[in-house]
Amino acid sequence: MKSFRTEIENPVVEYDVLELERKIFEFKEGSLDEEKFRSLRLARGVYGQRQQGVQMVRIKIPYGKCTAKQLRRIAQVSDEYSNGNLHITTRQDIQIHYVSLDRTPELWAELEQDDITMREACGNTIRNVTASAIAGIDPNEPFDVTPYAHAFFEYFLRNPICQDMGRKIKVAFSSSAKDDAITFTHDLGFIPVIQEGIRGFKMLVGGGIGAQPRVADVIKTFISVDEFIPFSEAVVRVFDQYGERNRRNKARMKFLLKEQGFDAFETRVNEVYQAISPKIVSVTPFALETRKTALFEADQAVDTQYNTWKKNNVSKQKQDGLVAVGIAIDRGDISSDKARALSQVVEAFCGDDLRFTIGQSILLRGIQEDNLPALYLALQQLGLAKAGYHKINDIVACPGTDTCNLGIASSMGLAEELQRVIEEEYAHIVTKHQLNIKISGCMNACGQHAIADIGFQGMTVKSNGNIAPATQVLLGGGVLGNGAGRYADKALKVPARRTPHVLRWLLEDFDAHAQKEESFLDYYLRKETDYFYQNLKGYADVTNLEDLDFIDWGTDGVYEKAIGVGECAGVTIDLVQTLLYDAEEHLEKAKEALDKQAWGNSIYYSYAGRIRAAKALLTTRSAKINSHHSIIDAFETHFPSYSSIGEDTFGSITRLLNTTSPSEAFAHQYYNEALHVLNWIKDFRNAQQN
């Protein structure tokens, strides 16, 4: 097999990249099962897209922080391997599309030269750790959460406990109780608190946004910064062990909390936490990186739009004399050429501090206020000085049917049309009101439509036996603060082509009848859902659809509903041999960790191998195997003849993971027991087959 030469100094990262190349080769040669390969590539950021034969690559940008050098590297990679476009996601990642599978290892190796990773950007893992783009500069923050978000990212990256969970875990850090990182929608959320002079977090668990949204529960009103990572590990372990494994649509943490109840879930987390050693992970705060940049005089006079731009895009930092500047990126797409040019602006004006935001835009930080006119002109030359950062014309939209397998409707095409309507017909509302619009191409809510003032979700309607693209209109979502939030109500569904008319009515009604400084959420709650339904229901009539109604926004062909297989959480198959192969792989990793004296890692790999081996045999029985603990119970029921090395049962030994602190002696004992399980199962199976 021909390989490329890596220039990666970190041997762990180099192994990851070369392993991806090896697995691609095995898959192409037919020696690696497609579903097994899918799981592996997803955990390495390689995601199938709607178009056959090409991949979407997701680049992980922890808490959205990107240097100018890294931005140039991503732009270069997009030119070389993709189509010259960078798509900013609502999780502060960068996605590039239309990448050949064969070239993904080489692409990854190039990214890693500037410390950019794809590892665990997709799949059943802890996804990108998001955080407030204003962390470190927020005048209202108790302290800067950035170093703690970074420590969380580093601690769980490649951590054995979160490599193959039932589903993904999403994490967010807000800079203050204002909660602009929307922690209430996350599996794990953190809001900074200082209590009796000690830094800590209000910690939330079990939030989710999708088809069945859920506001997260508060599991800790205060947990110190030294304890929040070990306690988070306990939460992850409980989710891994008790979470659903078979029904993918019920496998998120929010469903586990609903099934177990919060009290039972909390009890299990506390039990696991007691077994984790050490219980402290110290994080060293670091100072904000601010470099004094040169003072620039504007080489020409600014235009009449400068003051509007300054009012809508510029905010004061807690550091005297410094401001942050928001750049609205239309639908999250920025060309590689613009990204490269922007990197030079970043170096000149803000000393290398750029953040991608959950609103699919960019925030420049640490700018000297006197430099604003010159910066405005520099951005204007790039076409990046539009007034309206995180305003109603800065619309959030997922890729939808442009590239996503699960897309039902063209969220990008709709967003482009609605932005045109706003900027051409309602420009005064951009400045007058704080409103937001969010669009998703399906129910999974990657575009965050469920927490928008005005949300739109892609759907379909039937008319005279024909299918037309449609939009579910949602109203009244929003952040209430301090971990609380409100999910939007479904108002009605309309043919997609009528969505701009719905928006026009909403904007005109709100602008005409809202009380002074009344938010859209307050206005919506005052008027109530039926008011909006009664006024908009005429747009929902499908008896008189015209030819244009069967053509989605941004397209020119007749609409055809075509949904592929989603890969947001990976897919697992339960073939006996595949599971035994998995078990062997995990025990090999357990032995490698033993040799490196990484006792905790070895113990978890031994546990994972033990579970997979047991599940392999249980697939031949009518047994409940939808979680790790159901596998343990079922194995003891169906195979009472199993005998351990000692006198303990299969279940009692397996559950020692949650009650025994990591040590050299226990790691060796646990590995030997897991190896004994695997060999016993192989012998049992061979005896049955002969």
Each residue of 299-308: pLDDT tens digit?
888 889 999 9
What pLDDT, on a 0 to 100 scale, did the predictor assign at position 566?
54
Q: What is the mean pLDDT of residues 513-517?
A: 93
Of residues 43 and 469, more confidently modeled: 469
Degrees to nearest 5, angle at CA 238 with 237 and 240:
65
How far is it, in rounded angstroms, from Cα 342 to Cα 40? Answer: 34
Under DSSP, the state recorded for 205 is E
How far is it, in rounded angstroms, from Cα 289 to Cα 313? Answer: 22
Under DSSP, the state recorded for 214 is B
pLDDT of 309-346, one tens digit each? Answer: 999 999 999 999 999 999 999 999 999 999 999 999 99
DSSP string spanning 274-298? HH-S-S-------------PPP---
What pLDDT, on a 0 to 100 scale, did the predictor assign at position 571?
39
Q: What is the mean pLDDT of residues 71-88?
A: 97
The share of the chain scoring above pLDDT 70, in percent, equals 96
Return the residue matching tokens 């031949």: 620
Q: How far is CA 524 from CA 13, 392, 434, 513, in A?
A: 50, 16, 14, 11
Residue type for position 10: N
Beta strands in 297-420 (DSSP E): 314-316, 322-327, 333-335, 354-356, 362-368, 396-397
Question: Is it the case that residue 567 has pLDDT exceeding 60?
Answer: no
N residues, the chain: 690
Reading the block at residue 157, the tokens are: 């990256």
Residue 397: strand pairing partners: 439
What pLDDT, on a 0 to 100 scale, did the predictor assign at position 7?
59
Q: Residue 553, CB half-sphere, CA atoms under 13 Å: how many? A: 27
pLDDT of 449-503, one tens digit each? Answer: 999 999 999 999 998 889 999 999 999 999 999 999 999 999 999 999 999 999 9
Q: What is the mean pLDDT of residues 166-173?
A: 96
Flag the least confident range among 21-25, 83-87, 245-249, 379-383. Answer: 245-249
- HEC sequence for 29-43: HCCCCHHHHHHHHHC
pLDDT of 655-689, one tens digit each? Answer: 998 888 889 999 999 999 999 999 999 888 888 76
- Every domain range in the chain assigned CATH 3.30.413.10: 138-287, 396-550
Quick check: helix, strand or coil at residue 437? strand
Question: Is it the case that residue 6 has pLDDT exceeding 80?
Answer: no
How far is it, in rounded angstroms, from Cα 157 to Cα 11? Answer: 15
- Please answer whether residues 484 and 184 qualify as being in contact, where contact means their C-beta atoms are separated by less than 8 angstroms: yes
Of residues 80 and 561, more confidently modeled: 80
| Closest to 123 (Cα-Cα) out of 172, 168, 162, 188 | 168
User: Strands 437-440 and 454-463: what pairing?
Assistant: parallel
How far is it, in rounded angstroms, from Cα 358 to Cα 132? Answer: 8
How far is it, in rounded angstroms, from Cα 473 to Cα 379? Answer: 34
What pLDDT, on a 0 to 100 scale, did the predictor assign at position 291?
65
534 CB burial (10 A radius; 0-12, 13-18, 19+): exposed
- Every domain range in the chain assigned CATH 1.20.120.330: 576-689
User: Strands 322-327 and 362-368: what pairing?
Assistant: antiparallel
Q: Give the predicted TM-score (pTM) of the model.
A: 0.92
Question: Is it the case that residue 405 has pLDDT exceeding 90?
Answer: no
pLDDT of 200-239, one tens digit each? Answer: 999 999 999 988 999 999 999 999 999 999 999 999 999 9
Q: Is the dihedral of CA 654, 660, 663, 666 positive or negative?
A: negative
| Closest to 356 (Cα-Cα) out of 73, 636, 672, 86 | 86
- Please answer whether residues 325 and 374 qualify as being in contact, where contact means their C-beta atoms are separated by less than 8 angstroms: no
Question: Is it the case that residue 647 has pLDDT exceeding 80?
Answer: no
Average pLDDT, the chain: 92
Question: Is it the case that residue 3 has pLDDT exceeding 70?
Answer: no
| Closest to 229 (Cα-Cα) out of 255, 258, 193, 201 | 201
- Please answer whether residues 270 and 304 qualify as being in contact, where contact means their C-beta atoms are separated by less than 8 angstroms: no
Residue 1's pLDDT band (cuts 50, 70, 90): very low
Ramachandran region, residue 583 (left: φ > 0; alpha: ψ -120 to 50; beta: rest): alpha
Residue 352's pLDDT band (cuts 50, 70, 90): confident
| Closest to 235 (Cα-Cα) out of 209, 260, 200, 210 | 260
Under DSSP, the state recorded for 549 is G
Neighbours of 541 (CB within 10 A): 12
Instruction: Give me the CATH code for the 138-287 domain, please.
Output: 3.30.413.10
How far is it, in rounded angstroms, from Cα 499 to Cα 539? Answer: 8
> What residues contact residue 77 under an 8 Å CB cut-off, 6+ apart?
96, 107, 110, 111
In degrees and rounded to multiples of 5, residue 228 shows phi and psi of: -70, -30
Neighbours of 146 (CB within 10 A): 23
Instruction: Give me the CATH code for the 289-389 domain, please.
Output: 3.90.480.20
Give, in words, the CATH class of 396-550. Answer: alpha beta
Residue 574's pLDDT band (cuts 50, 70, 90): very low
Fold of 576-689: Four Helix Bundle (Hemerythrin (Met), subunit A) (1.20.120)
Degrees to nearest 5, angle at CA 92 with 216 and 17:
110
Q: What is the mean pLDDT of residues 642-663?
A: 88
Residue 81's pLDDT band (cuts 50, 70, 90): very high
The share of the chain scoring above pLDDT 90, in percent, equals 75
Reading the block at residue 613, the tokens are: 């081996």
> What residues contact residue 173 under an 8 Å CB cut-off, 6+ apart?
63, 129, 130, 131, 132, 135, 145, 148, 149, 152, 181, 183, 189, 190, 192
How far is it, in rounded angstroms, from Cα 93 to Cα 341? Answer: 20
How far is it, in rounded angstroms, from Cα 166 to Cα 121? Answer: 16
What pLDDT, on a 0 to 100 scale, did the predictor assign at position 575?
54
Cis peptide before 640 (omega within 30 of 0): no
